[in-house]
Amino acid sequence: MSWTTPSLLALPPSSSRRSSTASQAAGGVLRPPGKGQKASRRCAYCMRKWTSRRWKSSMSPLLPWRSGRRTPTATPGQASSKNPKIALKLAEFQTDGQGKIVLARGKELVQPFSSLFPKVEYIARAGWTRDGKYAWAMFLDRPQQRLQLVLLPPALFIPTPESEEQRLAFARAVPQDVQPHVVYEEVTNVWINVHDIFYPFPQPEGTEEFCFLRANECKTGFCHLYKVTAILKSNGYDWTQPLSPGEDEFKSLIKEEIALTSGEWEVLARHGSKIWVNEETKLVYFQGTKDTPLEHHLYVVSYESAGEIVRLTTPGFSHSCSMSQSFDMFISHYSSVSTPPCVHVYKLSGPDDDPLHKQPRFWASMMEAASCPPDYVPPEIFHFHTRSDVRLYGMIYKPHTLQPGKKHPTVLFVYGGPQVQLVNNSFKGIKYLRLNTLASLGYAVVVIDGRGSCQRGLRFEGALKNQMGQVEIEDQVEGLQFVAQKYGFIDLSRVAIHGWSYGGFLSLMGLIHKPQVFKVAIAGAPVTVWMAYDTGYTERYMDVPENNQHGYDAGSVALHVEKLPNEPNRLLILHGFLDENVHFFHTNFLVSQLIRAGKPYQLQIYPNERHSIRCPESGEHYEVTLLHFLQEYL
């Protein structure tokens, strides 16, 4: 038998459960899986949900992490509270002749993680270089304004010692030229949107150069691709001695950084987006919004001689693509607001001496677009400029019973928070079918992506920095006024605002700050006190409360209930009692404040639902409740 090393895995701590798992559901940061959950496929994949992993046949080292609370009295997960401590570890597995794991042993860093990286609060991503020379990890500070991409040689890990003498013996065996290497840094005064786009090239033997592709949003405010060459130099360390590293202790020299893309558009990097790198032709394929922020397309550019960017997908649709391993075909799942989704396979053809300009040719269909039902009318996309000259996009579902001169009650459907784009040129007849149902019943439905939504650059999204709830409603109201003037059928005296999660929060904000605009508000699963939401999400956008008390107070709807209307039947709150993201505490606290202030409200609880309503019966009940409230009170 021999010691071999399988692929990355995040090992859960001994504690069975956090008080909050909102970070997993809301794009938060590193948290252990709860009791009964499966371990992650990749170490520290904090901004994705935990999934079962598959063993790789090519065995490679394993990095587990663990966590422990610093204090039993603090409630972890809430803004400003202490986060669990983190430790990055490695595990080796012993296998028999059939490849079955028969024994495992853990290794830890030669010095404590907190000593080597004292300002790191979160491990955002981790993995291995393809040649197995290094583990890599992305580290974030607590404000989430500084990201470090770090290489960790396996030799930096030692067996878990049983005594201080043994630890020193293990440390003496670590070569002095072995050290962490910070090969890249991203710094911003807004926030870091963590993503997966990192492609390390194999490191040639005998060279100090380490080359990789990386997407970076912080340099220009728009997410673009860069080819980076770092120099890995060793400072020489005696690992038996305590180390107090400075901020740039392990920082590598950047020899070269070449922008492969540029402009006021984005390479798609978040939400699981990928790049595909053909090392033979020196081409990188990526998805982006170069043509319009309303459509996703597949593009290709050379990383050897950056210049021309070639679009491979058909305009007029929004595409989600994946390249073949041989780079000669790609598959596209695409649609438009008026065309249901279809899935086509395309083959790239053209001269081999000009691979950049190979043209896609239709090769096969895996799914054709279905016919829309006769009562489905797609929304119409529009744009307008705000008083501050910001171009915003929206879409409107026209009432099916539209008659000249007739005014219609209107529902403003909102989300409005970061990481989300509602308005784009993709089919809405599945996920947002209820909006078409409202239109079929005579309502006009308006959707607007205001400042704070994604795919428009960091400055656009960063308008919410430290002031959630204070800028979004103005954009929504300006859009509503534009639509009323443009189309002429909006009854501005009968407007409802409705949303879920962040959209529920904004629905309450709308009724608080614009009660003369919104006759009713239907708020689903709203955050009502930002102090009670989780650290990773809240602090990314709002900083810690001690640095931004005004922002926390101004953005917490439960602290402003006195501004809500005194008339009955203007507020409906809906919430799943088992909500694991926005805990039911938020609605509970809001209702207690409403009662204290003598404010009328209606409340609908779903006892067995979490943040998203999943049970079909609950979904039907929610839709009937929504329609009844609108019919009765709008």
HEC secondary structure over 512-523: HHCCCCCCEEEE
Average pLDDT, rounded, for the chain: 88
Can you tell me which residue has the tokens 């404040």?
A: 593
CA dihedral 353, 356, 361, 363 (to 10 degrees): 90
In a domain, 562, yes or no: yes
Give 556-599 pLDDT, tens digit per residue: 999 999 999 999 999 999 999 999 999 999 999 999 999 999 99
Let me know whether 168 and 214 are in one domain. yes
Q: Over 50: is that where the pLDDT of 134 sits? A: yes
Q: Over 90: is that where the pLDDT of 606 sits? A: yes
Catalytic positions are: 501, 579, 611
Residue 244 pLDDT: 87
* DSSP output for 76-130: TTBTTSPPPEEEEEEEEEEE-TT--EEEEEEEEESS-HHHHSTT--EEEEEEE-T
Let me know whether 116 and 238 are in one domain. yes
In a domain, 243, yes or no: yes
Give 471-519 pLDDT, tens digit per residue: 999 999 999 999 999 999 999 999 999 999 999 999 999 999 999 999 9
Domain termination site, one of 224, 249, 273: 273
Q: Over 70: is that where the pLDDT of 611 sits? A: yes
* DSSP output for 467-519: -TTSSHHHHHHHHHHHHHHHHS-EEEEEEEEEEETHHHHHHHHHHHH-TTT-S
Let me know whether 598 and 555 are in one domain. yes
In a domain, 18, yes or no: no
Let me know whether 490 and 446 are in one domain. yes
In a domain, 17, yes or no: no
Report the number of distinct structural domains present in the chain.
Answer: 3
Let me know whether 254 and 281 are in one domain. no
480 neighbors 493 (Cβ within 8 angstroms): no
Let me know whether 409 and 505 are in one domain. yes
CATH number of the domain bearing residue 460? 3.40.50.1820
Domain termination site, one of 224, 246, 273: 273
Whole-number Å distance between alpha carbons of 59 and 115: 30
Let me know whether 439 and 499 are in one domain. yes
Distances (CA, A) of 242 to 116, 142, 170, 205, 239: 10, 24, 14, 31, 7
Domain termination site, one of 230, 253, 273: 273
452 neighbors 472 (Cβ within 8 angstroms): yes
In a domain, 466, yes or no: yes
Those residues with Cβ within 8 angstroms of residue 211's Cβ, 6 or more apart along the chain or in another chain: 200, 201, 203, 227, 228, 229, 230
Let me know whether 360 and 484 are in one domain. no
Let me know whether 401 and 506 are in one domain. yes
Let me know whether 69 and 162 are in one domain. yes
Let me know whether 225 and 279 are in one domain. no
User: pTM for this structure?
Assistant: 0.87
In a domain, 303, yes or no: yes
In a domain, 397, yes or no: yes
Give 58-88 pLDDT, tens digit per residue: 333 344 443 433 322 334 468 878 888 889 9
Let me know whether 323 and 419 are in one domain. no
**Could you give the percent of the chain with pLDDT greater than 90?**
80
In a domain, 237, yes or no: yes
Residue 83 sits in which domain range?
Answer: 2-12+23-273
